[in-house]
Amino acid sequence: MTAKYRPTRRAALMGFTAVALAGGRASAQAPKKGGTLTFLQGAEPTTLISLTTVGTPSLTNSAKTTEGLLEYDYDIKPRPQLATEWSISPDGKSYTFKLRPNVKFHDGKPFTSADVAYSIQLLKTVHPRGRNTYANVVEVKTPDPLTAIIELSKPAPYLIKALTAAESPMLPRHIYEGTDPLANQNGNAPIGTGPYKFKEWVRGSHVIYESNPDYWDPGLPRIERMVCKFVRDSGARSIAFENGSGDIGYRTPVALADLERLKKLPHLVFSTDGTSYSYNVQCLQFNFDSQFFKHLKVRQAVAHAIDRAALLKTVAYGYGTVSYSPIAPGLKEYHDPTPSPYKLDLKKAEELLDEAGFKRGADKIRFKVPLDFNPIGDDGRRTCEFVRASLSRIGIAVEVRAADLSAFSKRVYTDREFDFTYNGHSNLFDPTVGVQRIYWSKNFKKGVPFSNASNYNNPKVDALLEGAAVENDPVKRKAMFMEFQKIVAEELPDISLYSPLYLTIKNKRVREDSPTADGVEGNMSRVWLDG
């Protein structure tokens, strides 16, 4: 049963010092073996392998059973996982991987280069991002069971960062071969090389993993069992952290309004470790086919009217970083920190709207326009209310329209019956994979979510994005992305607002949960429980 815990102010104070001390001691302490880790997850995955979907719930679970060729440190420098050595040819068109010997799948079959070749081909055909990430793959050569060579037609400078367990899972060929990958039961009861073996999936409730005694890394995993509980209600997740029935959750698993209260609890730790593999940028995206927003001056006026810092503070409770660019500040290599050329200036905004021909009417209103938002996060409604208030000051009457996921997708991407929308885009580990799709005119595709919904079309931008996608020289590549950011900052196909900061919340007994860039989305082989 649940632990009984009643917070008092004194306990909270004592707790803070206890956490500080425990943090300092953690590295010196020898890891303990055994125990059950309860991992709280918001939504139930549709499949336990991130092959045919990259929905967050599937990404969360996939790596526990199914590993990747590489893992990455917090700065996205590759480290060995299933591959022990790797090299890239000088022309950037050939990647050679030496595989870890004596690795076995949970069913006892050996893991070889044939599995790597098969997995890459599968990712290239059925993975929602793999089709782009691995687009240049010509073939995967397997000269011997422990060597895999990926041959490309053109360089793909982002490829070396795409090889985590959750993004590019290495699947057992003997289970998938000759089947329809979408119907394969491996997604319901996965077999992989990972530190945890799948035990059971009770739909609507939980998944249980048990430690893999034959894991290739001796001494790992340390915990005996991992229970992934699906708790849909964020209030219930707060309570579970509070009373100790949940150990860990990530991507800020509670309502932002609950954070201050939970931070007072001495047994909880709040961490940002392992959140550097993927960053989101939240934005207001304009439809260039809208009678209002097809005018550059109207878009500029909106940009002049929105105070990003105030939005971040009120809507996201300060958890994030202001971003003027669609490339997140977290992607330090490519992010352009130059502030938007359109500073907060209501007077200028009003002038621009007058010039564009939208004068204030008798009721002081220039025009009425609906705003749609992607409902996947819980901040959509609040952000839209902020935008509505901001734009009402320059005479634009915004009507916020709510819809569920499917209705939003149909309205924006299929029917295109929208004027502007609040949305978030995952940058992932590279702008070519995460950012290009939103601005590339060739990706203006009706009916495809997260395509170029603005119908933005600038041949110069297209050339820069296409060039950067195959540019092997990091300096030239950076220059291309910088120029791209300058152009979209001026032309405003969208207004980038901020990049959210996600917290991992855990009980202080949980240690070494996030040693890699992808944090708890990694295989969590090292996690252990102190008591």
Partner 1 sequence: MRMGRRIAATLKRTALHAGPTVLGIIVLDFLFLQLMPGDAADVIAIEAGAATAETMAMLRERFGLDQPIITQLGNFLSHLVQLDLGHSARFNASVLDIIMTRLPNTVLLMATALSLALLMGIVMGSVMAAWAGKWPDRLLSVVVLLLYSMPGFWVGLMAIVLFSVKLGWLPNDSNMTVGANYTGLAMIADRAVHLVLPALALASFFVAVYSRLVRASMLEVQRQDFMRTAQAKGLHPFFIQLRHALRNALIPVTTVAGMHLGNLLGGAVVVETLFGWPGMGRLALEAVLARDFAVLLGVLLLSSLLVIAANVVIDLLHAWLDPRIGET
Which residues ranging from 38 to 67 are in contact with partner 1 (CB under 8 A)? 38, 44, 46-47, 52-57
Q: Which is nearer to partner 1, 41 or 142 (CB)?
A: 41
Q: How far apart are CA 466 and CA 462, in angstroms?
A: 6
Near partner 1 in 368-387, by CB under 8 A: 374, 376
Work out whether 490 is an interface residue with partner 1 (CB under 8 A): no
Residue 514 identity (one-letter amino acid):
S
Near partner 1 in 293-322, by CB under 8 A: none
- 519: DSSP letter: G
Work out whether 344 is an interface residue with partner 1 (CB under 8 A): no
The full length of the chain comes to 531
Q: Is the separation of the CB atoms in 411 and 364 below 8 Å?
A: no
Q: Kindly state the smallest distance separating residue 37's Cβ from partner 1, in Å.
A: 10
Nearest residue to 209 via CA among 524, 504, 515: 524
Nearest residue to 427 via CA among 275, 277, 251, 279: 279
- Rule CB under 8 A: choose which of 257, 389, 405, 463 binds partner 1: 405
- Rule CB under 8 A: choose which of 147, 243, 271, 457 binds partner 1: 243
Report CA-CA distances (Å) from 49 to 16, 46, 52, 121, 161: 38, 9, 8, 16, 19
Total interface residues for partner 1 by CB under 8 A: 71
Q: How far apart are CA 327 and CA 279, in angstroms?
A: 9
Which range binds partner 1 by CB under 8 A, 190-198, 389-397, 407-415, 501-509?
407-415
How is the chain split among helix, strand and coil, in percent rounded to 5?
30, 20, 45
Work out whether 204 is an interface residue with partner 1 (CB under 8 A): yes
Q: Is the separation of the CB atoms in 277 and 72 below 8 Å?
A: yes
Q: Which is nearer to partner 1, 154 or 225 (CB)?
A: 225
Q: Kindly state the smallest distance separating residue 5's Cβ from partner 1, in Å.
A: 7
Q: Which is nearer to partner 1, 252 or 390 (CB)?
A: 252
Q: Which is nearer to partner 1, 96 or 184 (CB)?
A: 184
Q: What is the x/- site pattern for partner 1, positions 208-237, by CB under 8 A?
A: x----------------x-x-xxxxx-xx-
Work out whether 240 is an interface residue with partner 1 (CB under 8 A): yes
- Rule CB under 8 A: choose which of 90, 102, 108, 203 binds partner 1: 203
Q: Is the separation of the CB atoms in 81 and 70 below 8 Å?
A: yes
Q: Kindly state the smallest distance separating residue 209's Cβ from partner 1, in Å.
A: 10
Q: Which is nearer to partner 1, 236 or 344 (CB)?
A: 236
Work out whether 126 is an interface residue with partner 1 (CB under 8 A): yes
According to the 3-state scheme, what is the secondary structure of 215-272? CCCCCCCCCCEEEEEECCCHHHHHHHHHHCCCCEECCCCCCHHHHHHHHCCCCEEEEC
Near partner 1 in 424-453, by CB under 8 A: 425-426, 437, 445, 447-451
Q: Is the separation of the CB atoms in 66 and 190 below 8 Å?
A: yes
- Rule CB under 8 A: choose which of 406, 459, 475, 531 binds partner 1: 406
Q: Which is nearer to partner 1, 309 or 405 (CB)?
A: 405
HSE (side-chain half, CA atoms, 13 Å) at 307: 12
- Rule CB under 8 A: choose which of 5, 16, 318, 343 binds partner 1: 5
